[in-house]
Structure 1
Amino acid sequence: MDSQVESTGTHNPVAYIFSEDLVKTSSLLPSNRNRSLLVYSLIHAYELLTTCNDQTSRRFVVVRPRPAGEKELLAYHTHDYLKYAMAQPSDAQNLLIAPQFGLEDDCPKFHGIKDYITHVAGATLTGAAVIRDEASDVAICWDGGRHHAEKARASGFCYVADCVLAILFLKRALPSRLPSRKPRVMYVDLDLHFSDAVSQAFHKPGSATTSQVLTLSIHHAAPGFFPVSPLASLPKVDDPALDPFTLSVPLKAGASAKTFLRIWPIVERIKDIFRPDFVVVQCGVDGLAGDPMATWNWSLGGEGSLGWCIHRIVHEWQGKNLLLGGGGYNTPNAARAWTYLTSVAGGKPLPLDADIPEYSGYLHFKPSFTLDVPAGNMQDQNTEEYLQTIETTYEKILSILHSRMVSQTLQAIV
């Protein structure tokens, strides 16, 4: 999928992926009805996408996506899954095979599902094309980030594997600045839930080779907590199936900005060793305080916060960035968070104590009517002992990862 965007200044603008059709279809998602509409309306109310004449501020460009075509979806999904998922059941017999494709319980079929799948995949692929073509250093698609959708099965409110499709697209890219090697893609998942489908898609158990793709999921893990996956656990260094390019940092209940501040040096070291050309970030906000999941106690501002992490990735890391959405079931807080992160990406963060503008959606933001999503009073169960275990484990994993990358470099020289 190609998208032509022209820069209008000395710095490429931040690309915001938007169309009326995208918002309309994304707002049909049963787990998050009208969330897309509230997110975009708040961003619009703050006038973030208005071109700024101040040359010290990064500017935005709105990029209109087109729906993904069948060939693009088949780059990962199976034909049988797409055929069934995007067709309206015509009889009871068809309904009987819904469980085979995961289209039940948390992923029921709904009116407009075909448009939803094609529009969300198309929007994320448009963002990937924008950064691949160097029209922008950063692309934002808050309707993407569906990290539980599998190759032939819907799961966890996710019907299309847009994250996987974007990574596959970017790893095939041949940027002019990288004539001597294939591009590297780092996937960072900040959602409360483990990125099971994305991690599994690129997992190579026991492989002794390097990979173009490194997945890193920072998530909550506990017995029975969705999704149940062996990859969600802290990696075992002595496991013969260890893949140092498929990484997880499981956190306990009450994870806060302080927790993320403590583990973030691990993230930075992974990035420094892998040296990605593209970074795809799943910015799920169901770990923020106030979410109905009520599992973490993460905040939007301050050291170690979600905003703090995104600022570092966008403004301090090398490479191009694709920011995607994800979980988030307190819709007003999701709108607050992604509006703030949009301003962070643009280089001029909104004040967290900013009043919500008086517009048609104003009453959704009571009682505070401010932008901030502050931490609550939940106890952080990530003890010093547990955090030290994470750090000790990653000292060994990073050594393995470093050896793999050095070996690749030496082979390229030879």
Structure 2
Amino acid sequence: MDSRVESTGLRAKPVAYIFSEDLVKISSRLPSNRNRSFLVYSLVQAYGLLTKCTGQAPQRFLVVRPRPAGKKELLAYHTHDYLEYAMNQSSDAQHLLGASEFGLEDDCPMFHGINDYITQVAGATLTGAAVIRNDVSDVSICWDGGRHHAKKAQASGYCYVADCVLAILFLKRTVPSAQPLKKPRVMYLDLDLHFSDAVSQAFFRPGSTTAAQVLTLSIHHTAPGFFPISPLASLPDVNDPTFDPFTLSVPLTAGASAKTFLRIWPIIEHVKDIFRPDFIIVQCGLDGLAGDPMATFNWSLGGEGSLGWCIHRIVHEWQGKKMLLGGGGYNTPNAARAWTYLTSVAGGIPLSLDADIPEYSAYLQFKPSFTLDIPAGNMQDQNTEEYLQTIEATYEGITSVLHSRMVSSTL
């Protein structure tokens, strides 16, 4: 993607918030999350987070208008046949016969405006990637992105376009102006309840013995029959002939809470420190938060080990440039709460979780609490001490292999 975003020249770069009315309008048609995009952006606006500061106060956010992705940009990963089918609004019987082949049924039905949805969401995420690659900002946010189940030639899991993969492919290109020329390293960290099957598979190199430019790490729930079914969703085994230390998973059992995330977080930090990414893409799916209809994890928004705590550490303590994407999350008011709060965290002006929801047109959507917080519920955390020790012991071996690969790397 040839970015049309130019540097702002600001000494302290503001966080780039990717937004346009067209993007919100088309994203709000997504069958699995109708009107979610509208509610998220309206709450961000209601708190005044994107208001430009004047005088001596620094500008915290830069609103960047995305442009739709072109066909060539989409073809960087997707197949021509998939794009032709998905973006053809024909309803004739012969056309509909191909729906199963391309995954455009069941959880991914065709819908009015799918053509614009694919180009707008891909374009928005690519714009967010261009903003950090071109040094306009060190952090970008695109809550309409994060579609981590979309495959090269198939829609899946409410995802129609592989914007995460497209962004990784874009960021891993050598920057022509960089001296000396360097192949950027990209770390993809997925916090969604569901495994990032399509993204992980796209960069999986079974049995490889060399270093890679891309590392994917997914923290998720896995259980028999739980979507998506993938061998890569399991705890990696360094003795498996197909083991790839750059395609990693941390599967958690039901009830995972902030306490469990706090426990495993040193593993994530260690992987990051060994890999030393130039760019970090974080998929901030919310379906693991308490109150989500998935009712599988019991994660909270505030406190040690919470989603907010993790994002604060990534944005403000990790080296490298970051892009925050959306993902799952099927309690729409809670999605608005969480991504509004994470926006404030990324901007360095975290809202109080006790803050009242501003009285605006969508105020009644946030009953009964009418506050910003998403506290944990009463679900039992089934991630036992024995299981957590197994994860830690497994990752001692994984990080040893990863370190060896990076030491011998010429990237």
TM tier relative to shorter chain: over 0.9
Aligned partners of 1:55 and 1:230: how far apart in 2? Answer: 54
| Within-5 A mapping of 1:208-219 | 208-219=209-220
Q: Which residue in the other structure is 2:357 paired with? A: 356
Identity %: 80
Q: Which residue in the other structure is 2:81 paired with? A: 80
The root-mean-square deviation of aligned C-alpha atoms, in Å, is 1.2
Deviation (angstroms), 1:8: 5.4
Q: Which residue in the other structure is 1:345 paired with? A: 346
Aligned partners of 1:126 and 1:175: how far apart in 2? Answer: 18
Query: Alignment length, in residue pairs?
Result: 410
Aligned partners of 2:88 and 2:255: how far apart in 1? Answer: 42
TM-score by length of 2: 0.98
Aligned partners of 1:64 and 1:400: how far apart in 2? Answer: 42
Deviation (angstroms), 1:52: 2.3
The amino acid across from 1:334 in the alignment is A
Deviation (angstroms), 1:94: 1.2
Does structure 2 conserve the Cα–Cα contact (< 8 Å) formed by 1:170 and 1:185? yes
| Within-5 A mapping of 1:372-411 | 372-409=373-410
Deviation (angstroms), 1:59: 1.0
The amino acid across from 1:288 in the alignment is L
State yes or no: 1:3 paired with 2:29: no
How big is each residue's C-alpha offset from its partner over 1:308-364, in whole Å with a ceiling of 9 and x where there is no partner? 000111000111001000000000000000000000000010000000000001000
How big is each residue's C-alpha offset from its partner over 1:352-403, in whole Å with a ceiling of 9 and x where there is no partner? 0000000001000000000000000000000000000000000000000000
Q: Which residue in the other structure is 1:174 paired with? A: 175
The amino acid across from 1:22 in the alignment is L
How big is each residue's C-alpha offset from its partner over 1:161-200, in whole Å with a ceiling of 9 and x where there is no partner? 0000000000014175562420000000000000000000
TM-score by length of 1: 0.97
Aligned partners of 1:220 and 1:364: how far apart in 2? Answer: 29
Runs of 4+ in 1 over 6 A off after TM superposition: none
Aligned partners of 1:391 and 1:289: how far apart in 2? Answer: 25
Q: Which residue in the other structure is 2:128 paired with? A: 127
Q: Which residue in the other structure is 2:22 paired with? A: 21
Does structure 2 conserve the Cα–Cα contact (< 8 Å) formed by 1:26 and 1:36? yes
Distance 1:239 1:32, change over 3 A: same
The amino acid across from 1:149 in the alignment is A
Deviation (angstroms), 1:10: 1.8
Does structure 2 conserve the Cα–Cα contact (< 8 Å) formed by 1:132 and 1:173? no
How big is each residue's C-alpha offset from its partner over 1:240-281, in whole Å with a ceiling of 9 and x where there is no partner? 110000000000000000000000000000000000000000
Q: Which residue in the other structure is 2:321 paired with? A: 320
The amino acid across from 2:334 in the alignment is N
SS at the partner of 1:99? coil
Does structure 1 conserve the Cα–Cα contact (< 8 Å) formed by 2:52 and 2:59? no
Structure 1 gap segments, 5+ residues each:
none
State yes or no: 1:197 paired with 2:190: no
Q: Which residue in the other structure is 2:280 paired with? A: 279
Q: Which residue in the other structure is 1:96 paired with? A: 97
Does structure 2 conserve the Cα–Cα contact (< 8 Å) formed by 1:102 and 1:155? yes
Does structure 1 conserve the Cα–Cα contact (< 8 Å) formed by 2:174 and 2:181? no
The amino acid across from 1:98 in the alignment is A
Does structure 2 conserve the Cα–Cα contact (< 8 Å) formed by 1:58 and 1:348? no
How big is each residue's C-alpha offset from its partner over 1:94-144, in whole Å with a ceiling of 9 and x where there is no partner? 111100000000000000000000000000000000000000000000000
The amino acid across from 1:193 in the alignment is H
